[in-house]
Structure 1
């Protein structure tokens, strides 16, 4: 299979490497060429060139503006699409942005699947991501060979836009858990119990979600662990969650408190730090 990857950030680069190492032919486009080169895949000079070279185009970008910018213009993804190409949009963005991108893709006779992922870079490397896919089931079947190289689970959740909705619901829980874990560790430390002791108990208790296991190093050794999900992106997610909640009339009091804390941590200079640095902010 030949897959184009547009966006070589942490997740996009990891997916490109995983696909290439699993036997797929991969071409990568990224605005910063060095990041694309680091994947070891073939390099495209533009998003249009990348899209034109593949039957499956996987997009992984930071936010709504980056996504719409990548799709648009003479050198954008849409300009390179052929009829029948399937675009797999994995970015965490507003459902309305997904639907707008799907319209642009559809004008070329191609199709967009709304397919954000749950998981971190280590889970990409292990092929253990979870995909939440909105769009036609028949088109999902066409790209399953590529997704199965990356994923432990692929859920078809409805029409285009549904994937983005479910991803924001999942991240509502992830970000609340990150804050609850941060608060618990700070509480125990202030009361004289070492962080590692508390974490050992949490990791073997009723709250031992997969998140607790794979974030352990980031919480216990923050100065050594690589950044997997930065706090500025957490703030972006929580803003999207608030927008969707306001649009549909959902009350989200816990999410609102989490967002206030994260925004304050970013304002304190921790935006580029891993999300586990929320515990550093709360301990300060």
Structure 2
């Protein structure tokens, strides 16, 4: 049986850690925040020596944080580092090459499904790395993911996640704009969403995000605006390296960056709906 550890016990990490703990695979977990450690709800058998496991899963903001953590770490031959972040494929490749010299394997396993998916073990993983390594860690991946897609060599998973997120977040902002116009026209927003879901404009945003997290009044999509801005900054960098196109990517990034600049970085991103008109006006004014 393989042993696992999780580094990063935030909204996504704690659900992943709990799933592995319940399966008897988790031996260690760590978060720099004592509150996150205390609130993770893990069994007493789990300790904090998170680099002692066969498979070390990082659920931190980006590959840069993983590289810092592993800079002077005593890794051992045969360990597998699983990078569950949203990061740039160039950073993935650089880290993979560095730890390969210590006999360690690296898999970029970018995820989608949100915190609810992490809690339920129903994430979708977009993976880059060697097929035999992914097969070797499958018992752990099976506990946290409902679907896995091996996209290619190291970096391919992160490339796919940037494509996924630039589409998802751009669609979210477009939906916010459209429903803001519906509201201004005197239309009932709940009814407008029902119409979208009955037609060809439906998406995860209209079918799940708006009804569950916004129209319900919950206003809790379980992620910060700063996280979306970081993802779109990476997507813009990625698109530029590919020589575009990047029109929607760059516009969405500018909207999110403006929200962060206005001090809303720590705000749950569900509130972007109420900010949409002001943000678009701010971008338009900057262009005029």
CA distance in 2, matches of 1:207, 1:21: 39
Give the alignment of 1:17-96 within 5 angstroms.
17-41=18-42, 42-44=46-48, 49-52=49-52, 54-73=53-72, 79-96=73-90
Please identify runs of 4+ aligned residues in structure 1 that moved more than 3 A: none
Residue number among 103, 108, 112 corresponding to 1:118 in the alignment: 112
CA–CA distance in structure 2, aligned partners of residues 24 and 211 of structure 1: 34
Shift of 1:58: 0.5
Alignment TM-score, normalising by the size of structure 2: 0.89
CA contact (8 A) 2:197 2:206 kept: yes
What is the aligned counterpart of 1:152 among 146, 150, 163? 146
How far is 1:244 from its partner? 1.3
Given the alignment of the two structures, is residue 186 of structure 1 paired with residue 185 of structure 2, yes or no? no
Q: How far, CA to CA, are the matches of 2:121 and 2:201 in structure 1?
A: 24
Cα-Cα RMSD: 1.7
The change in CA–CA distance for 1:206 and 1:69 in structure 2 (over 3 A counts) is same
Following the alignment from structure 1 to structure 2, what is the Cα–Cα distance between the partners of residues 211 and 104?
39
Give the CA deviation at 1:26. Answer: 3.9
Output aligned runs, 1:168-187, within 5 Å: 168-187=162-181
Matched residue, 2:194: 200
1:144-182: per-residue Cα shift (whole Å, max 9, x none)?
111111112101111101111111011111111111111
Q: What are the residue-to-residue correspondences of 1:210-221 with 2, within 5 Å? A: 210-216=204-210, 217-221=212-216
Question: Structure 1: 5+ residue runs without aligned partners?
Answer: 74-78
In 1, Cα distance between equivalents of 2:150 and 2:64: 26
2:281 counterpart residue number: none
- Cα deviation for residue 283 of structure 1 reads 4.1
Does 2:157 match 1:163?
Answer: yes
Q: Secondary structure at the match of 1:215?
A: helix
Moved more, 58-67 or 165-174: 58-67
For structure 2, the residue ranges without an aligned partner over 5 or more in a row are 279-288
Cα displacement string for residues 186-232 of structure 1 (whole angstroms, at most 9, x for unaligned residues): 1111111122222222234323323433313222145x333422111
Number of residues of Structure 1 aligned to a counterpart in Structure 2: 273
Change beyond 3 A, Cα 1:108–1:211: farther
Q: Tell me, yes or no, if structure 1 residue 246 matches structure 2 residue 245.
A: no
Aligned-partner SS, 2:151: strand
Displacement, 1:2?
A: 2.0
3-state DSSP of counterpart to 1:115: strand
User: 1:103 aligned to 93, 97, 101, which one?
Assistant: 97
Distance 1:40 1:26, change over 3 A: farther
CA distance in 2 between partners of 1:220 and 1:26 (Å):
40
Q: Is contact 2:5-2:27 (8 Å) kept?
A: yes
User: Compared with structure 1, are the counterparts of its residues 101 and 37 closer, same or farther at alpha carbon in structure 2 (3 Å cutoff)?
Assistant: farther
